[in-house]
């Protein structure tokens, strides 16, 4: 596949068309903009999240390592269902994020209490480092780390349900 600008969601969405789960996995493994923005571009509508679990806790040793944080760092963990589009162009993904609230710019932390997708909260401040994505059970599983400057801010993972990948698969010709 040709390589567009790593933050150009529209170009990535065009390249995903007709490539199914493999195309979406490729996009999520190379796209450096918020995954939320890519999903919105794919379905042509804004994306929202329904947060069903939120907890403040201490980071695990593995989380401290990937987030370059000292032991005892406070993190906010969110589990949510991301949804976008309607009808035939709809999609859903189960998402999980672990974020260090102390690294957020002033004002951005208040959005964490609501149902705003993490990618939209940090889009102005952070860049996405894809950690990998693979087709998984008809959908796609992906992970990324978000950075503010030289500091990792969060880890995020998405498990995209198969419906979106089905929409991105070429349809047989009726001729």
Average pLDDT for runs of 10 along the chain of length 175: 76 88 94 91 87 95 98 96 75 93 82 79 88 94 95 96 82 60
Q: Write the DSSP symbol of residue 43.
A: H
Which of 9, 59, 5 lies closest to 34, judged by CA? 9
CA end-to-end span of the chain, whole Å?
28
What pLDDT, on the 0 to 100 scale, is given for residue 139?
A: 93
For residues 152 and 146, is the Cβ–Cβ distance under 8 A?
A: yes
Q: Provide the greatest CA pair distance for the chain.
A: 63
| DSSP tag of 89 | G
* Residue 49 near residue 81 (C-beta atoms within 8 A): yes
Q: Which residue has the tokens 């390249």?
A: 15
Question: What are the structural domains, with CATH classification, of the chain?
Answer: 9-167 (3.40.1410.10)
pTM: 0.88
């Amino acid at each position: 596949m040709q390589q567009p600008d790593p933050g150009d969601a529209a170009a990535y969405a065009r390249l995903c068309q007709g490539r199914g789960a493999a195309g979406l996995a490729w996009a999520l493994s190379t796209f450096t903009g918020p995954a939320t923005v890519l999903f919105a571009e794919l379905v042509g509508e804004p994306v929202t999240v329904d947060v069903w679990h939120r907890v403040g806790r201490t980071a695990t040793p593995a989380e401290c390592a990937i987030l370059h944080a000292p032991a005892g760092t406070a993190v906010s963990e969110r589990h949510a269902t991301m949804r976008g589009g309607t009808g035939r162009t709809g999609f859903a993904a189960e998402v999980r994020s672990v974020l260090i609230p102390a690294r957020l710019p002033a004002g951005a932390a208040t959005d964490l209490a609501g149902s705003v997708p993490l990618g939209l909260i940090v889009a102005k401040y952070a860049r996405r480092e894809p950690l990998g994505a693979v087709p998984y059970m008809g959908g796609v599983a992906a992970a990324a780390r978000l950075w503010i400057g030289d500091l990792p801010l969060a880890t995020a993972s998405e498990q995209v349900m198969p419906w979106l990948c089905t929409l991105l698969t070429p349809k047989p010709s009726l001729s």
